[in-house]
Amino acid sequence: MAEHVILFAGPMCAGKTTAIRSLSEIETISTEAANTDRETADKDTTTVALDYGEITIGDEDKVRLYGLPGQRRFDFMWRILMERAVGLVLLVNNDAADPLGQLAEFLEEFAELHERGGIVVGITRADIAEGPSLGDYAQTIAKSTSGAIIPVFTVDARDGNHMQTCLLSLIANIESRAALAYQQEQAA
Ligand SMILES: Nc1nc2c(ncn2[C@@H]2O[C@H](COP(=O)(O)OP(=O)(O)O)[C@@H](O)[C@H]2O)c(=O)[nH]1
Ligand SMILES: [Mg+2]
Protein backbone atom coordinates (compact mmCIF):
# COMPACT_ATOMS: atom_id res chain seq x y z
CA MET A 1 0.00 0.00 0.00
CA ALA A 2 1.45 3.29 -1.08
CA GLU A 3 1.24 6.26 1.24
CA HIS A 4 1.32 9.84 0.15
CA VAL A 5 1.66 12.95 2.26
CA ILE A 6 -0.09 15.89 0.68
CA LEU A 7 0.07 19.38 2.16
CA PHE A 8 -2.55 22.08 2.01
CA ALA A 9 -1.23 25.61 2.20
CA GLY A 10 -2.44 29.10 1.48
CA PRO A 11 -3.39 32.33 3.17
CA MET A 12 -5.69 32.55 6.16
CA CYS A 13 -9.31 31.91 5.12
CA ALA A 14 -8.29 30.16 1.90
CA GLY A 15 -10.30 27.08 2.92
CA LYS A 16 -7.57 24.67 4.05
CA THR A 17 -9.41 23.38 7.12
CA THR A 18 -12.66 23.14 5.13
CA ALA A 19 -11.03 21.32 2.19
CA ILE A 20 -9.50 18.67 4.46
CA ARG A 21 -12.88 18.19 6.15
CA SER A 22 -14.55 17.81 2.74
CA LEU A 23 -12.05 15.17 1.64
CA SER A 24 -11.32 13.16 4.74
CA GLU A 25 -12.78 9.72 5.43
CA ILE A 26 -11.84 9.96 9.07
CA GLU A 27 -12.90 12.54 11.61
CA THR A 28 -10.41 15.32 10.97
CA ILE A 29 -8.14 16.64 13.64
CA SER A 30 -7.86 20.40 13.75
CA THR A 31 -5.97 22.50 16.18
CA GLU A 32 -7.52 25.91 16.28
CA ALA A 33 -6.76 28.79 18.61
CA ALA A 34 -8.06 32.28 19.17
CA ASN A 35 -7.23 34.56 16.29
CA THR A 36 -4.97 37.35 17.47
CA ASP A 37 -4.58 38.78 14.00
CA ARG A 38 -7.91 40.50 13.40
CA GLU A 39 -6.40 42.94 10.93
CA THR A 40 -5.64 40.17 8.45
CA ALA A 41 -8.75 38.11 9.00
CA ASP A 42 -11.87 38.70 10.98
CA LYS A 43 -12.33 35.15 12.23
CA ASP A 44 -12.74 33.90 15.79
CA THR A 45 -10.34 31.05 15.39
CA THR A 46 -7.44 30.38 13.11
CA THR A 47 -5.21 27.42 12.51
CA VAL A 48 -2.03 27.69 14.50
CA ALA A 49 -0.94 24.09 14.38
CA LEU A 50 -2.29 21.54 11.94
CA ASP A 51 -5.30 20.05 10.26
CA TYR A 52 -5.12 16.35 9.56
CA GLY A 53 -7.30 13.99 7.54
CA GLU A 54 -7.01 10.84 5.45
CA ILE A 55 -8.46 9.60 2.17
CA THR A 56 -7.97 6.35 0.28
CA ILE A 57 -7.67 6.59 -3.49
CA GLY A 58 -8.63 3.40 -5.33
CA ASP A 59 -8.21 0.49 -2.91
CA GLU A 60 -4.58 0.98 -2.22
CA ASP A 61 -3.32 4.48 -1.94
CA LYS A 62 -3.67 6.10 1.42
CA VAL A 63 -3.29 9.83 1.30
CA ARG A 64 -2.45 11.77 4.44
CA LEU A 65 -3.71 15.33 4.26
CA TYR A 66 -2.01 18.00 6.33
CA GLY A 67 -3.20 21.60 6.49
CA LEU A 68 -0.43 24.02 7.28
CA PRO A 69 -0.77 27.15 9.35
CA GLY A 70 -1.43 30.19 7.17
CA GLN A 71 0.62 32.57 9.17
CA ARG A 72 4.26 32.94 8.52
CA ARG A 73 5.28 33.01 12.13
CA PHE A 74 4.58 29.29 12.22
CA ASP A 75 6.59 28.51 9.15
CA PHE A 76 9.05 26.18 10.88
CA MET A 77 6.24 23.59 10.62
CA TRP A 78 6.13 24.08 6.86
CA ARG A 79 9.70 22.87 6.58
CA ILE A 80 9.24 19.82 8.80
CA LEU A 81 6.26 18.60 6.79
CA MET A 82 7.72 19.60 3.44
CA GLU A 83 10.46 16.99 3.86
CA ARG A 84 7.83 14.25 3.95
CA ALA A 85 5.45 15.63 1.37
CA VAL A 86 5.03 14.47 -2.21
CA GLY A 87 2.65 17.22 -3.21
CA LEU A 88 0.91 20.44 -2.32
CA VAL A 89 -2.61 21.72 -2.79
CA LEU A 90 -2.17 25.47 -2.74
CA LEU A 91 -5.43 27.24 -1.97
CA VAL A 92 -5.83 30.96 -2.57
CA ASN A 93 -9.03 32.79 -1.73
CA ASN A 94 -10.23 35.07 -4.47
CA ASP A 95 -11.20 37.67 -1.87
CA ALA A 96 -7.71 37.95 -0.32
CA ALA A 97 -6.22 41.43 -0.30
CA ASP A 98 -3.71 40.56 -3.01
CA PRO A 99 -4.46 37.04 -4.26
CA LEU A 100 -1.91 37.10 -7.12
CA GLY A 101 0.80 38.37 -4.77
CA GLN A 102 -0.13 35.68 -2.23
CA LEU A 103 0.02 33.01 -4.93
CA ALA A 104 3.50 34.16 -6.04
CA GLU A 105 4.73 34.20 -2.44
CA PHE A 106 3.49 30.72 -1.65
CA LEU A 107 4.90 29.32 -4.91
CA GLU A 108 8.27 30.74 -3.99
CA GLU A 109 8.06 29.38 -0.47
CA PHE A 110 7.29 25.88 -1.77
CA ALA A 111 9.58 25.96 -4.82
CA GLU A 112 11.20 22.71 -3.70
CA LEU A 113 7.91 20.91 -4.21
CA HIS A 114 7.57 21.87 -7.89
CA GLU A 115 10.87 20.21 -8.54
CA ARG A 116 10.42 17.15 -6.39
CA GLY A 117 6.70 16.54 -6.44
CA GLY A 118 3.78 18.47 -7.69
CA ILE A 119 1.54 21.37 -6.97
CA VAL A 120 -2.05 22.08 -7.85
CA VAL A 121 -3.63 25.49 -7.26
CA GLY A 122 -7.26 25.85 -6.16
CA ILE A 123 -8.91 29.26 -6.22
CA THR A 124 -11.59 29.41 -3.51
CA ARG A 125 -14.39 31.81 -2.64
CA ALA A 126 -14.69 32.80 -6.30
CA ASP A 127 -18.47 32.44 -5.85
CA ILE A 128 -18.55 35.30 -3.37
CA ALA A 129 -15.81 37.59 -4.57
CA GLU A 130 -14.87 39.03 -7.87
CA GLY A 131 -11.10 38.73 -8.10
CA PRO A 132 -8.52 37.97 -10.75
CA SER A 133 -9.48 35.60 -13.58
CA LEU A 134 -8.12 32.06 -13.92
CA GLY A 135 -5.98 33.42 -16.77
CA ASP A 136 -4.43 35.95 -14.38
CA TYR A 137 -3.62 33.18 -11.93
CA ALA A 138 -2.15 31.00 -14.69
CA GLN A 139 0.04 33.91 -15.76
CA THR A 140 1.31 34.41 -12.20
CA ILE A 141 2.13 30.69 -12.04
CA ALA A 142 4.01 30.88 -15.35
CA LYS A 143 6.00 33.89 -14.12
CA SER A 144 6.78 32.39 -10.72
CA THR A 145 7.94 28.97 -11.84
CA SER A 146 10.07 27.79 -14.72
CA GLY A 147 8.46 25.08 -16.73
CA ALA A 148 6.62 23.39 -13.87
CA ILE A 149 3.22 21.99 -14.82
CA ILE A 150 0.86 23.43 -12.23
CA PRO A 151 -2.86 23.05 -12.91
CA VAL A 152 -5.17 25.74 -11.58
CA PHE A 153 -8.88 25.24 -10.83
CA THR A 154 -11.67 27.24 -9.34
CA VAL A 155 -12.90 25.18 -6.39
CA ASP A 156 -15.28 25.43 -3.50
CA ALA A 157 -13.47 24.02 -0.48
CA ARG A 158 -16.83 22.97 0.98
CA ASP A 159 -17.49 20.67 -1.98
CA GLY A 160 -15.95 17.19 -1.71
CA ASN A 161 -16.21 16.57 -5.46
CA HIS A 162 -14.32 19.74 -6.33
CA MET A 163 -11.62 18.90 -3.86
CA GLN A 164 -11.34 15.31 -5.14
CA THR A 165 -10.84 16.56 -8.69
CA CYS A 166 -8.12 18.84 -7.44
CA LEU A 167 -6.43 16.09 -5.41
CA LEU A 168 -6.65 13.49 -8.20
CA SER A 169 -5.08 15.84 -10.73
CA LEU A 170 -2.24 16.37 -8.28
CA ILE A 171 -1.75 12.65 -7.68
CA ALA A 172 -1.85 11.95 -11.44
CA ASN A 173 0.83 14.58 -11.87
CA ILE A 174 2.99 13.11 -9.09
CA GLU A 175 2.64 9.56 -10.43
CA SER A 176 3.45 10.51 -14.01
CA ARG A 177 6.58 12.27 -12.79
CA ALA A 178 7.58 9.20 -10.81
CA ALA A 179 6.99 6.97 -13.85
CA LEU A 180 9.07 9.28 -16.02
CA ALA A 181 11.90 9.34 -13.49
CA TYR A 182 11.83 5.54 -13.36
CA GLN A 183 12.00 5.27 -17.16
CA GLN A 184 14.90 7.68 -17.29
CA GLU A 185 16.72 5.70 -14.62
CA GLN A 186 16.20 2.46 -16.58
CA ALA A 187 17.42 4.08 -19.78
CA ALA A 188 20.58 5.47 -18.15
N1 LIG B 1 -18.52 30.82 -0.27
C2 LIG B 1 -17.45 30.06 -0.12
N3 LIG B 1 -16.94 29.87 1.12
C4 LIG B 1 -15.83 29.12 1.25
C5 LIG B 1 -15.19 28.54 0.13
N6 LIG B 1 -14.10 27.88 0.58
C7 LIG B 1 -14.09 28.03 1.91
N8 LIG B 1 -15.13 28.78 2.33
C9 LIG B 1 -15.43 29.25 3.69
O10 LIG B 1 -14.38 30.15 4.05
C11 LIG B 1 -14.14 30.12 5.47
C12 LIG B 1 -12.67 29.93 5.76
O13 LIG B 1 -12.31 28.60 5.52
P14 LIG B 1 -11.23 27.83 6.42
O15 LIG B 1 -11.28 26.42 5.97
O16 LIG B 1 -11.43 28.11 7.85
O17 LIG B 1 -9.89 28.53 5.93
P18 LIG B 1 -8.39 28.28 6.42
O19 LIG B 1 -8.02 29.48 7.24
O20 LIG B 1 -7.57 28.25 5.16
O21 LIG B 1 -8.34 26.99 7.17
C22 LIG B 1 -15.05 29.02 6.01
O23 LIG B 1 -16.20 29.64 6.54
C24 LIG B 1 -15.39 28.19 4.76
O25 LIG B 1 -16.66 27.57 4.86
C26 LIG B 1 -15.74 28.76 -1.17
O27 LIG B 1 -15.23 28.32 -2.21
N28 LIG B 1 -16.87 29.53 -1.23
MG1 LIG C 1 -7.75 26.61 9.10
| Residues comprising the chain, all counted | 188
Ligand number, closest to the Cα atom of 42:
1
Count of domains for the chain: 1
pLDDT confidence of residue 49: 62
Per-residue pLDDT, 170: 93
Q: How would residue 78 be classed by pLDDT, with cut points 50, 70 and 90? A: confident
Whether residue 39 is predicted with pLDDT greater than 90 in this model: the reply is no
Quick one: which H or E segment has residue 29? strand 29-34
**Which of 13, 21, 166 to probe ligand 1 with, by most ligand atoms within 8 A of CB?**
13
The parent domain of residue 175 ranges over: 3-187
Does ligand 1 come within 6 angstroms of the Cβ of 125? yes
> If you measure from the C-alpha of residue 181 to the centroid of ligand 1, how many angstroms do you get, rounded to a whole number?
36
Q: What is the CATH number of the domain that holds 89?
A: 3.40.50.300
Asked whether the predicted pLDDT for residue 166 surpasses 60, the reply is yes
Task: Give mean pLDDT, residues 86-100.
Answer: 95
35 or 114, greater pLDDT: 114
Residue 70 has pLDDT above 90, yes or no: no
